[in-house]
Structures are given as structure tokens and as C-alpha cells.
Amino acid sequence: MAIKEYYNPSSGEQFDSLRGTWKWQTFVAASSYTISEIKLKLFRAAGAGHRQYFVRLFAVDISHKPTGLSLVTMGSFYSDELTTSYAQYSFSDGTLALTETTEYAIVVQTDDEYTTSEWSWYTDGSAGYATGYCGYGNHTGWAVISNDRWFENYETGATVYAEGTKIVTATASASLVASPGKATTPTPTDDEEDIRLTGINQLKKLQWEAPV
């Protein structure tokens, strides 16, 4: 996996007082690629209930707010299963082809409205991510705030194939299938279709037919 867009400060965290609402962070795709993993820095509040939250990607409107239906669900978590201090969580259940210079929103939401404090997404009070916007919302709409949230995006990387005792590594777009063809300097010179295998008394031998 290769990291692409990210904002992952190690200090400057501002307490996320909007823990019960839906939360989001936007980014602009630096290139056209297929996103296959998102990492977020999260923790749970004391007394968190067993409620499922989904990590999704959305398109954004001209105000940099999520709009329309979810483009993909990258994964989910239950609020009471998070740690009680910030930790990184990986979500890689889905993939989406992103377009260079297009803005997208990472949204964490429930499928129903729920406003009780349960969890927090690491939020930087300095708003240090220059190419993104941060906010919160619910079923009725979205609001932008002057902060940025911790995230890392990863693209589909090298694929490893086992071949006997060997390990062959290739990029996702590479082809490991060789194209059959005629030898470049056959000896004797002849067309490959003139070589045939003929069965005689259930035995096989190589029969050469000279070209006409």
C-alpha cells in the first residue's frame, strides 16, 4: 500500500466536543488512483454504547460539504469497541477510483440519528491541512468548522503472487500472463503450424513436415 493524501499531526489535538454527531473531513485527490484503505485516529468516551458507525466517502458541494449518496463504504466500527485513548484504525472493506484534483469527503456516520457522546476523531485545533475542510452534521445538514481531522489515504499497491517456492511481486496493473508466440530464430526455419504430434499405437512421436 502506498500512502496518498494525509493529515496526521502528532500533537495539537483539540477536544472533539461534537462526539455524538456525524463527522467529516475533505481532501483533494493528488492524482487519479484507486483508494483501498483509510486510517483514522479515534477513541471512545466513557459509557459508550454498542452503536455501529460507518466510514464512507462522499462527493462535496461548492461549500466543501458532503453531498448526495455515499460513493463507497470503507468499513465500520462499534463505538464501545474503540480504545479509551487515541489509536489508529484501518478501514479497507471497499475501493473507489478517485479523480485527480477532485475533492472528496471522509464521513463517519450512523444509519440513524444519534447525538449522545460516544467517540472522538482526532481533531487539530490549528486547522493545518491546507487542502481540506472539516465539519460535523446530521440528517438535517452539515456545518464547517475551523479545524482538521487526522486521516491517511492509501492506494491499491503491489500484489504478491505465490509461485511454488518463489514470491513474484507485480503492480496491480501488471500482467503475469506470457503471450505465446513463435521463436525468433527457429532451427530449422519453418512455420510453427507445420509441427504436429501424431499418435501411433497409442505412442506419440514428433513428426516433421518439410514446407512445400
| pLDDT, tens only, 44-103 | 888 888 889 999 999 999 999 999 999 999 999 998 999 999 999 999 999 999 999 999
CB atoms within 10 A of CB 18: 18
Name the pTM for this structure: 0.73
**Domains of the chain listed by start with CATH number:** 2-155 (2.60.120)
Q: Indicate the pLDDT class of residue 181, thresholds 50, 70 and 90.
A: very low
The whole-number pLDDT of residue 137 equals 87
Three-class SS of residue 21?
coil
Q: How far apart are CA 27 and CA 9, in angstroms?
A: 15
Q: Indicate the pLDDT class of residue 10, thresholds 50, 70 and 90.
A: confident
- Provide the strand spans (E) within 146-202: 148-149, 151-155, 159-163, 166-170, 195-200
